[in-house]
Amino acid sequence: MRIFLSSTYEDMIEYRNSVMEVLRGNEMIYRGMEFFGASENTPIDVCFQNIAESDRMIVLLGTRYGSRPDCNSHSFTELEIREAERLGKPILIYILDTDRQPVLIKHVDSGKNKSDLDALINYLSNKYSVQKYVTPEELGVILARDLLRIEKDTNTHRGKNSLIGEYRETAYDKLAYWYDHWYKDHWELDDPFKTIVSIIKAYDEGSRGNILRKKILDCACGTGNTYVSFTKNGYNIYGTDGSRYMLQKAKNNCDSIGVSTDHIELEPLNWTDNKSYHAKFSSGFFDVIINTANSFCHIPPVSGYMDVALNNFYDLLAPGGLLIIDTKKYIKTRSLNDIETYQELRYIAGKQEWILRSEREEPRNIEGLGNVKFHTRLMYDNDPAFTHPVCRALIVVTIYGESINPCVHVIPYYPLPSVMLKMEMEKAGFMPVTIFPAMENLVLDWKYDIVVGRKPG
């Protein structure tokens, strides 16, 4: 998709950069004044030509009306909008929320420019559904969400299941290079291994022989951290993931430390795609399936998604096999006053209305790149893909540093309380299903609730 961006320039540089990064992350072509270059045509003619060659326009309005081709005309921005309307181009309008965002005086118009800007905003607000934004990061999140909605609306001939899976995996494809740096301090790398082994041993009771002989599937192996820990300790583990680039990173990580990659499937497998899994593995092939790091929450907890994945896992397990899934621990919003740190805030869920926004910034010293900062923000809403309310969280990761261009990655997930997950696993046929609360007993070193279900037999 080719996108034309219309806005003033000097006061909107950071916002334009945020838009460029979101478009680049979604493999869309950006058209804007930064890349017009020299031309024998007038500036406004160059703008109109680029609008004609674009599929859609994005408009950013702040506190400046903008320059005019001549003193008696509308501004470039308004002329661009009117040309897009004349050509019937779809337009997305984003307006700076000046009630929440302080603006430098030099970037605030007065007099005729102010009145013309007010008139333009009033015209657009009456004609279109506009979105307010404050920071460049927030604009990036809102835009990414809108582009996802547009993609789904324009691809109605394809299943929602396919689209949601593609969006999720594409997000991780783009984040794969940075993933290990971003997650560096979130847990010790062997914590998942120690926790999961303690659970398997507790359930084993010697009834199925040597635990090292069990076939274990890590169906969200990511960059391979858990796969490496199990393999180095002699376990028979297989690794699959939905992201091709995360799988390649897992292979590279294993190769760099001499760990065999024979059991890593380099072709991505989606949990809801029964045919792809069974092209690789027969029914009842595994004794244990693990899904850690809150990964299962990346699919919607609604019919046609979560139930399909759980049924797929059930079929892949041998009788008596274990399904082990972790999910973030949630507390009621009434406890907000007792929360002090981001690490706790990120676990909070409301009922149906999601209003929490939390963020953190973590520096990393990366060889060859120097100091790189990872700014992570959570925003909650209802997924526009569904006609009924489905709570969704957007993880927005902005990566920047002196030696790299800023980039923005948006990853969706669906908060899933452990009690709800337990009920869904029971519906799929797992029995019994047990919840192990975070930081207690068998999961003393693990910050997520873990839900374990056994396939009868």
- Average model confidence (pLDDT) for the chain? 82
Q: Kindly state the average pLDDT of the residues 210-222.
A: 91
Per-residue burial over 386-403, b if 16 or more Cβ lie within 10 Å, else e, is eeeebbbbbbbbbbbbee
Kindly state the average pLDDT of the residues 277-299.
94
pLDDT tens-digit readout, 318-327: 999 999 999 9
Q: Which two tokens stand for residue 334?
A: 């009434």
DSSP result, 359-405: EEEEEEEETTTEEEEEEEEEEEEE-TTSSS--EEEEEEEEEEETTEE
- The per-residue pLDDT for range 46-102, each reduced to its tens digit, is 999 889 989 999 999 999 999 998 877 899 999 999 999 999 999 999 999 988 877
User: What is the rounded average pLDDT of the residues 389-412?
Assistant: 79
The CA distance from 220 to 324, in Å, is 12
* pLDDT score at 158: 39
CA–CA dist 319, 316 (Å, integer): 10
Residue 62 contacts residue 30 (beta carbons within 8 Å): no
CB of 2 closer than 8 Å to CB of 53? yes
**Ordered domains of the chain (ranges, CATH):** 2-154 (3.40.50.10140), 162-457 (3.40.50.150)
Tell me which of 161 and 283 has the higher pLDDT.
283
Tell which wins on pLDDT, 149 or 197.
Answer: 197
Highest mean pLDDT among 19-33, 109-123, 200-214, 367-381: 109-123
| Average pLDDT of the residues in 393-420 | 81
User: What pLDDT does residue 32 have?
Assistant: 76
Q: CB of 268 within 8 A of CB of 245?
A: no
* Mean of pLDDT values over 394-411: 79
**Residue type, position 133, single letter:** Y
Q: Which residue has the higher pLDDT, 352 or 291?
A: 291
Q: CA-to-CA distance for 124 and 106, rounded, in angstroms?
A: 24
Q: How confident is the model at residue 153 (pLDDT cuts 50, 70, 90)?
A: low
- The pLDDT assigned to 170 comes to 67
pLDDT at residue 343 in the model: 35
Band of residue 346 on the pLDDT scale cut at 50, 70, 90: very low
Task: Give the model's confidence band at 296: pLDDT under 50 very low, under 70 low, under 90 confident, else very high.
Answer: very high
- Cα distance between the two ends of the chain: 52
| Banded pLDDT at 351 (limits 50, 70, 90) | very low
The token pair that represents 23 in the structure block: 């478009």
Range in 10-24, 148-162, 179-193, 284-298 with the lowest mean pLDDT? 148-162
Q: Which single residue is written with the structure tokens 């037999």?
A: 457
397 close to 375: Cβ distance less than 8 angstroms:
yes
Tokens of 248: 């390649």
Contact 301, 341 (CB under 8 A): no
